[in-house]
C-alpha cells in the first residue's frame, strides 16, 4: 500500500511538473518581442535613420547596418507572422544600406529614392511588429 502511494505521488508530481513546464513556453509574439528587444533593433534602426537623414553615411556607418542585417538573419522563430515582419525589417535595413552607399558615392537622386523606400519599409515593419506583440 505504501509503495503504491509513493508511485502515485511520483506520477502526480511528474504530471504537475510537465504541465507547469509546458505552460512556460513562450508564444511567438513574446519570443519575437524578446528577439527584437534583446538585439536592440528598434534603437539601432532609429540611429540609422537619424544618421542618414543628417548626412552621416561613411563606410564605418555602413558596417553598423551590416551588423543589424546579420543580427536580423539570426531569427529562429518558426512563425509565419514573425518571419514576415522580420523580412520587412531586413528589406528596410538593406535599403538603408543601399541609400547610404549611394549617398557616399555621390548618387544623391538615387539615394533619396532608396532612402524613402527604406523609411517606408521600416514604418511598415514597426507597425506590424507592434500589432503582432500586442496581440
Max intra-chain CA distance, the chain: 86
Instruction: Give the residue-averaged pLDDT of 79-103.
Output: 96
User: Which is nearest to 92 in space by CA: 32, 34, 44?
Assistant: 44
Distance set, CA 32 to CA 88, 97, 103, 123 (Å): 14, 23, 32, 17
Decide if 65 contacts 73 (C-beta within 8 A): no
- Span 108-113, average pLDDT: 93
Per-residue pLDDT of 27-47, as tens digits, reads 999 999 999 999 999 999 999
pLDDT band at 3 (very low <50, low <70, confident <90, very high): low
Q: Residue 35 and residue 6: Cα distance in Å, rounded? A: 43
**Whole-number pLDDT of residue 59:** 83
Q: Which of 92, 86, 91, 88 is closest to 72 using CA atoms? A: 86
Mean pLDDT across the chain: 87
The better pLDDT of the pair 20, 67 is held by 67
Residues 6+ apart with CB under 8 A from 117: 95
Q: CA angle, corner 71, sides to 102 and 52, nearest 5?
A: 30
Banded model confidence at residue 16, pLDDT cuts 50, 70, 90: low
What is the pLDDT at residue 19? Answer: 55
- Mean pLDDT value across residues 2-17: 63
- Euclidean distance between CA atoms 63 and 24, whole angstroms: 38
User: Sorting pLDDT into bands at 50, 70 and 90, what band is 60?
Assistant: confident
**pTM summary value:** 0.80
Amino acid at each position: 500500500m505504501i509503495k503504491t502511494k509513493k508511485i502515485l505521488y511520483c506520477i502526480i508530481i511528474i504530471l504537475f511538473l510537465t504541465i507547469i513546464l509546458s505552460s512556460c513556453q513562450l508564444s511567438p509574439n513574446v519570443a519575437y518581442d524578446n528577439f527584437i528587444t534583446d538585439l536592440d533593433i528598434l534603437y539601432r534602426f532609429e540611429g540609422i535613420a537619424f544618421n542618414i537623414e543628417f548626412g552621416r553615411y561613411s563606410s564605418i556607418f555602413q558596417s553598423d547596418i551590416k551588423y543589424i542585417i546579420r543580427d536580423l538573419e539570426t531569427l529562429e522563430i518558426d512563425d509565419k507572422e514573425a518571419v514576415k515582419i522580420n523580412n520587412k525589417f531586413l528589406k528596410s535595413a538593406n535599403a538603408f544600406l543601399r541609400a547610404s552607399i549611394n549617398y557616399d558615392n555621390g548618387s544623391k537622386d538615387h539615394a533619396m529614392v532608396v532612402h524613402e523606400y527604406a523609411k517606408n519599409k521600416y514604418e511598415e515593419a514597426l507597425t506590424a511588429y507592434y500589432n503582432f506583440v500586442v496581440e
